Amino acid sequence: MLKFVKSHLETITGIEIYPLISLVIFFTFFVALFWWVFTAKKEYINTVSRIPLDEQVKL
Protein backbone atom coordinates (compact mmCIF):
# COMPACT_ATOMS: atom_id res chain seq x y z
CA MET A 1 0.00 0.00 0.00
CA LEU A 2 2.71 2.45 0.97
CA LYS A 3 4.51 1.95 -2.33
CA PHE A 4 1.70 3.69 -4.22
CA VAL A 5 2.12 6.81 -2.20
CA LYS A 6 5.87 6.58 -2.08
CA SER A 7 6.51 6.26 -5.78
CA HIS A 8 4.68 9.47 -6.54
CA LEU A 9 5.69 11.58 -3.60
CA GLU A 10 9.19 10.33 -2.95
CA THR A 11 10.58 13.84 -3.29
CA ILE A 12 9.11 14.59 0.13
CA THR A 13 11.28 13.22 2.88
CA GLY A 14 9.54 11.07 5.44
CA ILE A 15 6.49 10.63 3.26
CA GLU A 16 5.88 7.14 4.71
CA ILE A 17 4.60 8.70 7.88
CA TYR A 18 1.76 10.55 6.07
CA PRO A 19 -0.66 7.64 5.71
CA LEU A 20 -0.08 6.78 9.35
CA ILE A 21 -0.82 10.35 10.36
CA SER A 22 -4.01 10.37 8.31
CA LEU A 23 -5.13 7.10 9.84
CA VAL A 24 -4.57 8.52 13.30
CA ILE A 25 -6.44 11.73 12.42
CA PHE A 26 -9.42 9.80 11.09
CA PHE A 27 -9.49 7.27 13.88
CA THR A 28 -9.34 9.96 16.54
CA PHE A 29 -11.91 12.10 14.77
CA PHE A 30 -14.52 9.37 14.57
CA VAL A 31 -13.83 7.94 18.04
CA ALA A 32 -14.23 11.42 19.50
CA LEU A 33 -17.35 12.05 17.45
CA PHE A 34 -19.02 8.84 18.63
CA TRP A 35 -17.87 9.53 22.19
CA TRP A 36 -19.65 12.90 22.15
CA VAL A 37 -22.74 11.50 20.61
CA PHE A 38 -23.15 8.56 22.92
CA THR A 39 -22.36 10.46 26.09
CA ALA A 40 -24.87 13.23 25.36
CA LYS A 41 -27.74 13.16 27.83
CA LYS A 42 -30.98 11.72 26.53
CA GLU A 43 -33.05 14.49 28.04
CA TYR A 44 -30.92 17.09 26.33
CA ILE A 45 -31.09 15.30 22.97
CA ASN A 46 -34.86 15.12 23.20
CA THR A 47 -35.20 18.80 23.98
CA VAL A 48 -32.85 19.93 21.25
CA SER A 49 -34.54 17.78 18.65
CA ARG A 50 -37.82 19.55 19.42
CA ILE A 51 -36.43 23.01 18.59
CA PRO A 52 -38.09 23.16 15.14
CA LEU A 53 -41.46 22.10 16.55
CA ASP A 54 -41.73 23.92 19.82
CA GLU A 55 -41.57 27.64 19.51
CA GLN A 56 -40.61 27.97 23.19
CA VAL A 57 -37.85 25.48 23.92
CA LYS A 58 -36.00 26.38 27.09
CA LEU A 59 -32.42 25.34 27.57
With contact defined as beta carbons under 8 Å apart, do 37 and 27 qualify? Answer: no
Give yes or no for residue 13 binding other proteins (CB under 8 A). Answer: no
Of how many residues is the chain composed?
59
By rule CB under 8 A, what string of x and - marks binding of each residue 26-55 to other proteins?
A: ---xx--xx-xxxxxx--xxx-xxxxxx-x
Q: Phi and psi dihedrals of 55, rounded to 5?
A: -75, -15
Q: Which of 9, 23, 24, 31 is close enough to bind other proteins by CB under 8 A?
A: 9
Tell me the CA distances in angstroms from 34 to 26, 40, 42, one per residue in order. Answer: 12, 10, 15
Interface positions with other proteins (CB under 8 A): 4-5, 8-12, 22, 25, 29-30, 33-34, 36-41, 44-46, 48-53, 55-57, 59
